[in-house]
C-alpha cells in the first residue's frame, strides 16, 4: 500500500506535496511535486510511464486532475516528461519548459493527439526565456529559476516564495531510496558525488548557481531524486560542497576523447 504524500508546506491556502514512492521495478527513485494555491495546480516533473498511472491516481485524491493548471518540465529527460502525451490528453494543463526544448517536446507525443483529438502539443507549451520568469498560480507567483547546464543546456527550477522551497530538479539529487531530510551531510556526500561529477557540466555553472541561491530566501532545497536539504545549516553545507566540486568538463582530458580500440 502506498503511503500518503509528504506535506512539505500547508498554510490552508497554499500547499506543497511530495510523492516519493511511486517508482517500482528498476527505475531510479524519483520525487514528484504538486503545488496548489486557491484551486490552481502545478505539477513538477511528472515522469514517464513508470509514474503516470500511480501518480494520476494519487493526484485524484487531492485535486480534480483534469483541471491541472500547469505541468513544469525542468528539462527534457525521460524521467521528467516522457508521459507528456497522457497529461495533454487527460488534463487541461499547459506545459512550462525552456524555449530550447519547446520544439522537441512534440516528439514525445503520439500523432493521434492531433489527428483524432485536435490537440496541438506546441499550442499547450509555455516556452521560458533563458532568464526565467514568474508563473502565476492562484493568488501567488512562483519563479522559474535558471539552472542551465545543471545538467541540461536549458534547465529550470521552481522557487516557491510562499513556502520558501527551491524545487531543484537534479541539483542535489542523491541515489537513495529515501526522501527523508538529510541529517548528516558528510555521510550523505557519497550518495551524491558520482552523479554530480558526471552529470553537472562544470564548476563554473555550479558556482553561479550557488551564488544565486545564497541571495534567495530558501528554507528547503528539494531535488527530484533522494533527500531534501532542510534548514540553513544543511543548505549552506550543500552550497559550499557544490560550488567547490570539480565536475563534467573539469574532469575531461584528451584520454576521454579517443577512438576506441
**Residue found by looking up cell 516533473 in the block:** 45
pLDDT band (50, 70, 90) for residue 173:
very high
Q: By CB neighbour count within 10 A (0-12 exposed, 13-18 middle, 19+ buried), where does 194 fall?
A: exposed
Q: Answer for the pair 77, 45: CB distance below 8 angstroms, yes or no.
A: no
Please check the confidence at residue 177 and state whether its pLDDT lies above 90. no
pLDDT at 203 (0 to 100) = 98
**DSSP one-letter string for 188-228:** HHHHHHHHHHHHS--HHHHHHHHHHHHTS--SEEEESSS--
pLDDT tens digits for 188-236? Answer: 999 999 999 999 999 999 999 999 999 999 999 999 999 999 999 999 9
As a whole number of angstroms, the distance between CA 54 and CA 32 comes to 11
**Residue found by looking up cell 556526500 in the block:** 189
Q: What is the mean pLDDT of residues 91-100?
A: 92
The ranges assigned to domains in the chain are 6-251
Please check the confidence at residue 156 and state whether its pLDDT lies above 90. yes
pLDDT, mean over the chain: 90
pLDDT band (50, 70, 90) for residue 85:
confident
Pick the range with the lowest mean pLDDT from 10-19, 102-111, 185-194, 223-232. 102-111
Tell which residue, 68, 136, 141, 126, has the closest CA to residue 96.
Answer: 126
pLDDT at 116 (0 to 100) = 58
Please check the confidence at residue 118 and state whether its pLDDT lies above 60. no
pLDDT band (50, 70, 90) for residue 133:
very high
Q: What is the mean pLDDT of residues 38-43?
A: 97
pLDDT band (50, 70, 90) for residue 50:
confident
pLDDT band (50, 70, 90) for residue 121:
low
Q: Answer for the pair 140, 162: CB distance below 8 angstroms, yes or no.
A: yes
As a whole number of angstroms, the distance between CA 37 and CA 139 comes to 7
As a whole number of angstroms, the distance between CA 150 and CA 171 comes to 7
pLDDT at 109 (0 to 100) = 62
CA 201 remoteness from chain centre? 17
Q: What is the mean pLDDT of residues 125-137?
A: 96
Q: What is the mean pLDDT of residues 13-42?
A: 86
Q: Answer for the pair 155, 169: CB distance below 8 angstroms, yes or no.
A: yes
The CATH-assigned architecture of domain 6-251 is: 4-Layer Sandwich (3.60)
Q: In a 3-state reduction of DSSP, which class is residue 113? A: helix
Higher pLDDT, 42 or 119: 42
* % of the chain at pLDDT higher than 70: 90
What is the grid cell recorded at 199?
552529470
Residue 95 β-bridge partners? 71, 125
Amino acid at each position: 500500500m502506498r503511503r500518503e504524500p509528504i506535506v512539505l508546506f500547508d498554510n490552508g491556502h497554499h500547499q506543497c506535496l511530495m510523492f516519493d514512492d511511486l517508482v517500482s521495478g528498476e527505475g531510479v527513485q524519483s520525487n514528484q511535486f504538486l503545488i496548489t494555491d486557491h484551486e490552481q495546480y502545478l505539477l513538477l516533473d511528472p515522469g514517464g510511464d513508470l509514474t503516470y498511472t500511480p501518480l494520476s491516481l494519487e493526484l485524484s485524491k487531492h485535486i480534480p486532475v483534469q483541471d491541472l493548471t500547469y505541468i513544469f518540465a525542468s528539462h527534457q529527460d525521460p524521467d521528467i516528461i516522457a508521459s507528456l502525451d497522457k497529461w495533454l490528453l487527460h488534463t487541461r494543463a499547459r506545459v512550462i519548459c525552456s524555449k530550447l526544448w519547446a520544439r522537441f517536446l512534440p516528439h514525445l507525443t503520439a500523432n493521434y493527439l492531433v489527428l483524432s483529438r485536435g490537440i496541438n502539443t506546441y499550442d499547450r507549451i509555455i516556452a521560458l526565456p533563458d532568464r526565467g520568469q514568474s508563473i502565476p498560480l492562484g493568488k501567488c507567483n512562483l519563479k522559474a529559476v535558471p539552472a542551465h547546464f545543471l545538467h541540461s543546456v536549458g534547465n529550470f527550477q521552481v522557487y516557491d516564495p510562499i513556502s520558501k522551497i527551491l524545487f531543484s530538479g537534479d541539483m542535489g539529487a542523491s541515489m537513495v531510496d529515501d526522501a527523508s531530510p538529510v541529517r548528516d551531510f558528510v555521510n550523505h556526500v557519497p550518495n551524491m558525488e558520482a552523479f554530480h561529477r558526471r552529470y553537472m557540466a562544470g564548476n563554473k555553472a555550479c558556482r553561479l548557481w550557488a551564488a544565486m541561491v545564497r541571495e534567495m530566501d530558501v528554507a528547503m532545497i528539494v531535488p527530484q531524486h533522494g533527500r531534501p536539504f532542510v534548514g540553513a545549516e544543511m543548505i549552506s553545507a550543500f552550497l559550499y560542497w557544490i560550488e567547490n566540486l570539480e565536475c563534467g568538463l573539469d574532469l575531461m582530458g584528451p584520454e576521454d576523447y579517443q577512438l576506441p580500440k
